[in-house]
């Protein structure tokens, strides 16, 4: 479990990644609980998973365009599947949700890595463009 102080130091992207992990952990725990016929615990874990999916949906930036709408639809679909799995205590449905969340989580982590890698390069390009522009302006004034 992460402390509140550590959580406040996380970026929104890191928090999203943590939510994916927490959702996966709850789904796996729910499957184990169903195997052990502990339906109360399974219900608890599936409700937590559903709460996480709702929070992920609430955090979508809808200015991002069609991808945001598609992600919202996927979160809603997965939340409905979690509810169905909770009612029926069906591990196959839980496994389907896990596969989707794993794919989202993996893609999210890849995007975070690529974004971190590209930022320094982007800053260098901006600095170089600024320097070139400044040199051009200096040469213009000298002539």
60 in the Ramachandran plot: left (φ > 0), alpha (ψ -120 to 50) or beta? beta
How does pLDDT run across 37-63, given as a tens digit for each residue?
A: 999 999 999 999 999 999 999 999 888
Contact in structure between 27 and 20 (CB atoms under 8 Å): no
How does pLDDT run across 73-123, given as a tens digit for each residue?
A: 999 999 999 999 999 999 999 999 999 999 999 999 998 888 765 555 555
What pLDDT shows up at residue 137? 46
Neighbours of 140 (CB within 10 A): 8
Q: Which fold has domain 11-108?
A: 1.20.120
User: How far is residue 94's CA from residue 62's CA, in Å, rounded to a whole number?
Assistant: 28
Flag whether pLDDT at 4 surpasses 90: no
Dig out the tokens for 105 from the structure.
């989580």
């Amino acid at each position: 479990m992460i402390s509140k102080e550590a959580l406040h130091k996380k970026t929104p992207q890191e928090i999203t990644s943590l939510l994916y992990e927490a959702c996966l952990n709850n789904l796996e725990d729910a499957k184990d609980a169903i195997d052990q016929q502990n339906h109360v615990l399974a219900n608890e874990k599936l409700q937590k998973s559903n709460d996480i999916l709702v929070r992920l949906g609430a955090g979508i930036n809808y200015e991002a365009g069609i991808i945001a709408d598609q992600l919202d639809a996927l979160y809603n679909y997965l939340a409905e599947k979690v509810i169905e799995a909770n009612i029926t205590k069906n591990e196959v449905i839980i496994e389907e949700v896990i596969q989707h969340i794993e794919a989202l989580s993996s893609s999210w982590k890849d995007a975070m890595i690529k974004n971190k890698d590209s930022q320094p390069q982007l800053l260098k390009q901006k600095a170089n463009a600024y320097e070139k522009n400044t040199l051009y302006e200096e040469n213009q004034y000298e002539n």
